[in-house]
Amino acid sequence: MNLKSLILIAILILTTARISFSVQEKKSLPEVTLISIYDNYQVDTRLTTAWGFATIIKTPQELILFDTGGNSEILLSNMKKLGITPFSIKKVVISHIHGDHVGGLEGFLERNSNVTVFIPNSFPQSVKNMIVQKGAKFVEVSAPRKISDSIYTTGQLPGPPQEQSLIIDSKKGLVVITGCAHPGIVNIVKKAKKLMKKDKVYLVVGGFHHPPISCVKEFKELGVEKVAPSHCTGDLVREAFRKEYKENFIEYGVGKIVEIN
Ligand SMILES: [Zn+2]
Ligand SMILES: [Zn+2]
């Protein structure tokens, strides 16, 4: 074999490897990634835990911040440790008025005001004024609506307090993300299915607000495939979900990254 053919073979091998690598790269790009950046449960020990909830929803198009926890310093420091800059976020969705979900908003807007904040329209004028004063825009949510490609809000559901949850229409099925689930976690899942006219619920993640243990059975009946209860779910219910769902129970808490392919 002469040198010319050897070089040719080498080029051929390298090109094939590159093609297969790029195909693999494309394949492994998740449709949606959920990143817990604030929770009272901990997964990544480098991060700070505190009572509250905040999760980033990363799509190939954009990053959405769902809730802001109770303290912006903790929120921003956890984001920094995970390599997420506040400027990469263009949309913020706040589930409900409680301090452990809205408390980090003001400090976040001080860092990045180039965002649209989706708030339940029952929010007090003081919060709306604060958002505008910081230089951001807000959208008042009452009815269900689209937030982004494949991402919807349930609209403001009765609590108290009134609360919105997010629904991702993923290839695997619906993904429901709740802040505190004051309108009732089972109600929210039922509402999501009805709104989207889809029966397959792939994942329910977030605070479930101390539901009765019987909700585990109701989840099974509703056909919920995976669960990731955190924040205000309550340890007993969380453990009941873990026992029932086994490998389909996701340990959700600050630092947890869930890829939905
Ligand atoms: Zn709450
Ligand atoms: Zn809460």
CB < 8 Å & 24+ apart, contacts of 128-134: 130/105, 130/106, 131/105, 134/106, 134/109, 134/110
Tokens 């800059």 sit at which residue?
85
Ligand 2 center to residue 43 CA distance, Å? Answer: 18
- As beta bridge partners, residue 202 has none
110 has a pLDDT exceeding 50: yes
Q: Which ligand is nearest to the CA of 38?
A: 2
- Dump strand ranges (E) for 40-105: 53-58, 63-66, 89-93
User: pLDDT tens for residues 22-31?
Assistant: 444 445 567 9
CA 185 to centroid of ligand 2, rounded, Å: 13
Say which residues have a Cβ less than 8 Å from residue 67's Cβ, sequence separation at least 6.
38, 52, 53, 54, 55, 93, 94, 95, 101, 102, 179
Task: State the pLDDT at residue 7.
Answer: 65
Tens digits of per-residue pLDDT, 131-148? 999 999 999 999 999 999
H helices within 29-124, ranges in order? 72-81, 99-102, 105-111
Please determine, looking at this structure, whether the domain spanning 29-260 carries the CATH number 3.60.15.10: yes
CA of residue 95 to ligand 1 center, whole Å: 9
Closest-CA residue to 38 (of 110, 104, 118): 104
pLDDT tens digit sequence for 165-218: 999 999 999 999 999 999 999 999 999 999 999 999 999 999 999 999 999 999
Tell me the HSE value of 194 on the side-chain side, using a 13 A CA sphere: 9
Q: How far is the CA of 222 from the centre of ligand 2 (A)?
A: 24
Side-chain-facing half-sphere of 90: CA atoms under 13 Å: 7
Answer yes or no: is pLDDT of 21 > 50: no
- For residue 40, the CA-to-ligand 2 centroid distance in Å is 10
Percent of the chain with pLDDT over 90: 88
First to last CA, the chain: 45
